[in-house]
């Protein structure tokens, strides 16, 4: 019968979880920032948005995972916020559906924690180990696909031509200067 075929298809099909990237422009709104955005060379902050399940309700909720610097040794710089929580002085530019993963919610959590352990706050560097590097690593682990090349283009230019950036931009921010969020190691099994 038709109903038995439909239920078999539903139970054998793998659930696909969407992977979203939120992109924030770190430059103040201006003609220059708009031009750089359209050229794919803007200064971006990126974060990965993944659905999770709350223990208090069966309704899915999402978290936005990002990476920032701080001076605390042995502590990840990966934190989560509510989606579309911009870092200070930034503007949300785009939300991109990167793709899907067939990993279960518990497998996604393991991947996030595994990648987070590789991104300590004291290792943050605007040019060589920034939020976009974290986003790229997490996207690849979740989907097996590389992040868009334009995502971290400005850092690549800065590495090749360091005189373009003021030195203080490369120093990791002090604690509290990044988006308000929760470091993964501060979580209480929410």
* Selection from 149, 150, 166 nearest residue 158 by Cα: 166
Among this protein's residues, is 45 annotated catalytic?
yes
- For residue 103 the two structure tokens come to 């990993």
Q: Is residue 146 part of a domain?
A: yes
Instruction: Report if residue 190 sits inside a domain.
Output: no
Q: Which pLDDT belongs to residue 179?
A: 57
Q: Is 131 a catalytic residue?
A: yes
The continuous run of DSSP H or E covering 18 comes out as: strand 17-25
Q: List the chain pLDDT tens, one digit each, 190 residues.
A: 444 444 444 434 568 899 999 999 998 999 999 998 998 888 899 999 998 865 566 667 899 999 999 999 999 999 999 999 999 999 999 999 999 999 988 899 999 999 999 999 999 998 899 999 999 999 999 999 999 999 998 888 777 777 666 666 656 555 445 556 777 765 544 4
Determine the pLDDT at residue 11: 39
Q: Which residue has the tokens 């605007």?
A: 126
Residue among 44, 80, 131, 133 flagged as catalytic: 131
| Contact partners, residue 161, CB within 8 Å, separation at least 6 | none
Any domain includes 149 = yes
Assess if residue 111 is contained within a domain: yes
Distance, in Å, from the CA atom of 11 to the CA atom of 96, rounded to the nearest integer, reads 29
Residue 22: give the domain boundaries: 15-184
**Domain CATH for 42:** 3.90.1720.30
pLDDT for 168: 62
State residue 2's pLDDT score: 44
Assigned domain for 2 exists: no
Q: What is the dihedral of CA 144, 93, 78, 16, to 10 degrees?
A: -40
pTM comes to 0.81
In a domain, 169, yes or no: yes
From the candidates 45, 70, 80, 133, which is the catalytic residue? 45
Cα 78 to Cα 13: distance, rounded to the nearest angstrom: 32
Closest Cα to residue 150, out of 40, 75, 73, 25?
40
pLDDT value of position 182: 78
6 occurs within a structural domain:
no
What is the domain count for the chain?
1
Q: Two tokens at 18? A: 């969407």
Q: Is 105 a member of any domain? A: yes
Length of the chain: 190
**Contact criterion met (CB below 8 Å) for 44 and 149:** no
Residue 92 phi, psi (nearest 5): -65, 130
Residue carrying the six token digits 């959590």 = 109
């Amino acid at each position: 019968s038709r109903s038995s075929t439909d239920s078999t298809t539903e139970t054998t099909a793998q659930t696909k979880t969407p992977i979203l990237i939120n992109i924030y422009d770190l430059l103040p709104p201006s003609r220059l920032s708009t031009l750089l955005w359209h050229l794919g060379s803007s200064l971006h902050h990126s974060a990965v948005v993944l659905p999770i399940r709350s223990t208090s309700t069966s309704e899915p909720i999402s978290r936005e995972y990002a990476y920032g610097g701080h001076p605390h040794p042995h502590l990840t710089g990966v934190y989560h916020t509510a989606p579309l929580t911009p870092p200070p002085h930034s503007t949300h530019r785009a939300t991109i559906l990167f793709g899907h993963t067939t990993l279960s919610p518990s497998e996604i959590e393991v991947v996030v924690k595994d990648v987070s352990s590789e991104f300590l706050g004291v290792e943050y560097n605007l040019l060589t180990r920034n939020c976009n590097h974290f986003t790229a690593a997490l996207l690849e682990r979740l989907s097996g696909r590389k992040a868009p090349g334009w995502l971290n283009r400005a850092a690549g230019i800065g590495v090749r031509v360091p005189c373009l950036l003021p030195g203080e931009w490369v120093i990791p921010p002090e604690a509290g200067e990044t988006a308000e969020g929760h470091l993964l190691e501060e979580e209480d099994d929410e």
